[in-house]
Every structure is written in C-alpha cells, then in structure tokens.
Amino acid sequence: MTTTDVTVQCPCGYKIEDESKYNILFLKKEQREIDILCPNASCFLGELGFIKFIIVDDQPVLELARFYSPFVTWNATQLGEEDTRKRLVNHLKLLITKKIRWSMIIEETHRITDIQEDEH
C-alpha cells in the first residue's frame, strides 16, 4: 500500500478507489440534502453519507457533510482511525468540489421551490 492510496471499502466489500465511484442521489430536495451511496446497487447499507447545503444568491453553501458511522467504523478497523479520517475527509472534499454538479442541483432545487409557490 502506497501513501497515495486513498481507497476505502464499504462493509459490503465494494472497494471505493476515489470520489468518482460513489453514487450521488438528490431526492431530499426540500431538505437540501444529497445522499452519498455505495456504488454496489445491492449493497445492504446503501447510504454511506450525506451532504447538506443551503443556497445563497444562487450559490451552494455547504452546511454539513459526513459519512455515516457504520461506513467509517468499518474502515477504521482496517486502516486505523487516523488514516480513515484523512481518506474520508479527502473523499468528501472531492465529492463536493469535483463530483457533484452543483448547477444541476441548484436548478432542481429551484424547480421544486417554484412548484411549491404555484400551489399556494
């Protein structure tokens, strides 16, 4: 294992080499919450973490981003807590800066806001 290795593993056994492997799901639009999912469609865990944001002047502002404890603990038992923390913080950072298409997220958020306004 080299120092540049950033691979983590889901408890289902799926190896996640980098941020591009995660599946991103934006269903909880009203809560402004993006789910981070395991790439394995039949994973028993499914959701590995989440990213919460608010929109200020059409720009996303990060509120909270974290991985759930079963996923974190699983990796900590194999990589150690310090290494796990570093890798997962890095994955979160890259998910936020590279993987997530914020323009689409903002567009979808606007759409649901518009619909709600029409109903009233």
Site of interaction with Zn ion (CB under 5 A):
10, 12, 14, 38, 40, 43
Q: Which is nearer to Zn ion, 47 or 83 (CB)?
A: 47
Ramachandran angles phi, psi of 113, nearest 5°? -65, -40
Q: Which is nearer to Zn ion, 14 or 26 (CB)?
A: 14
DSSP 8-state symbol, 105:
H
Q: Which is nearer to Zn ion, 53 or 67 (CB)?
A: 67
User: Cα separation of 77 and 71, whole Å?
Assistant: 10
In angstroms, give the least distance from the CB of 14 to Zn ion: 5
Q: Which is nearer to Zn ion, 1 or 13 (CB)?
A: 13
User: Cα separation of 17 and 7, whole Å?
Assistant: 4
In angstroms, give the least distance from the CB of 1 to Zn ion: 21
In angstroms, give the least distance from the CB of 26 to Zn ion: 19
Strands (E), the chain: 8-9, 15-16, 23-28, 33-37, 47-56, 59-67
In angstroms, give the least distance from the CB of 70 to Zn ion: 10
